[in-house]
Amino acid sequence: MHKFFKRDLLIILACYVVHASVYAAQMSLWDQLNASGTMMDLFINLMSAICASMANTAFRLKSETVVVSQVFKELAYGIGIGLTAGVVTYSVAEAAEANNFLQLALVTLAGWGGAKVIESYSNKYFGGKSEDAS
């Protein structure tokens, strides 16, 4: 029960922060992206997030308890999650005008952690199937 509460709190917090970042972006998004260096920062940050998510995938593949039946599905899933978590965290950090390195660290951790969070949720939804995967 306690764990459930913590998880849902995290989700609510994430939703709130995303909305805050949307409201913070008053200027046109495209204008801001085209501002000097932002696109390159976004690119590098996203690569880092995807890489972190792939790190999670690599450890899943190496793990003896998790048996992955469709490797390509697993990879696509990893890339998608890394991208989503990366974009969300990048926007939040950008809206908060965080330091570049703090931003990179947050985005990378989100790439890693995003996979974990969604994994635990899909475990909840499609329970049993990956029960042996914990």
Partner 1 sequence: MGLTLKRHARNRAHLSVNLSADWPIRVFYGLMTLYQGLFGLFVPSSIFYQALQNYEGAAAIITCLLAAGALLVVDGLFAMIRYCTHVSCERVDPAMVIFNRWRPLLFLPPVFCYYVTLILVNRQLQAGVLTVIGYYVVLAVLGVVFSLRDGIISQNAQRRGPNA
Q: Which residues bind partner 1 (CB under 8 A)?
A: 37, 40-41, 44, 47-48, 50-52, 54-55, 57-62, 64, 67-68, 71, 75, 100-101, 104, 108
Our CB check for partner 1 shows the closer of 47 and 87 to be 47
* Helix 38-62 with 71-95: angle, nearest 10 deg: 140
Our CB check for partner 1 shows the closer of 24 and 68 to be 68
Closest distance of CB 97 from partner 1, Å: 16
| CA gap 110, 119 in Å, rounded | 13
Our CB check for partner 1 shows the closer of 92 and 111 to be 111
- DSSP string of 25-40, one letter each residue: --S-HHHHHHSTTHHH
